[in-house]
Amino acid sequence: MSALQIIDDWYGSAAIDYEDAWALQREIHAQRAADEIPDTALFLEHPPVFTAGRRTEPHERPFDGTPVVDVDRGGKITFHGPGQLVGYPITKLPSHVLVVDYVRRVEEALIRAAADLGVVTGRVHGRSGVWLAATAGRPERKVGAIGIRVSRGVTMHGFSLNADVDLAYYERFVPCGIADAGVTSLSAELGRDVTVPEAAAAVAPHLGELLEWQPYTPSPDVVHDDHPVVPVLGLGAGAQA
């Protein structure tokens, strides 16, 4: 199987508008479904934008003037903007790979990348994404989100990893519909600037390895006792959190 091809032409001042990137995804998705190209991931930044998945409720939308785009993935609403690595793996799933396994592999790539940068993260049972454990005076905090769609056996949409994003944007809505947890960034946790290219360089080798579909040992979950388990819904057609 060909190695994952990563295209990363859209950082900083070259950040790509969400809808332009969505159109590019659809183009590459069609090429991958037709076996015209190998598995390909787009690594990029977006100008500030909220994207609303199919389960977004009207009251969950922000009204601060930032664009809101309705998208064809599962889940609720989330934010993309400068300082956040966004990755769109467009990969053909082998027949033996379930969608939930794909989601867990993307999570694992982010967990391993964060560890390489010095931040210990993991999964929270019942919630997709990448989390830091609760600490004294601070709740569990999400640093990476997953939101996917699978069509014709090929994935699109993907993940975001907060490198040095402006966390004030997350005060304008309830991220992913989860009100009893926080949001953070690698920079906030480490006390130093982590750039998007630095985060991308950490993620790329792990994502490439995990999407070779070999067996792997998952990282430990984040231990939590203070909130109810929330089922992860919609993984058959797309999920986001």
Q: Which residues are catalytic?
A: 176
In order, the DSSP letters of the chain are -PPPEEEEEE-GGGPPPHHHHHHHHHHHHHHHHTTSS--EEEEE--SSEEEE-TT--GGGS--SS--EEE-SSSS-EEEE-TTEEEEEEE-BPPTT--HHHHHHHHHHHHHHHHHHHT---EEETTEEEEEEPPBTTB--EEEEEEEEEEETTEEEEEEEEESS--GGGGGGS-GGG--SSEE--HHHHHTS---HHHHHHHHHHHHHHHTTT----PPPPPP--SS---PPP-TTTEEE-
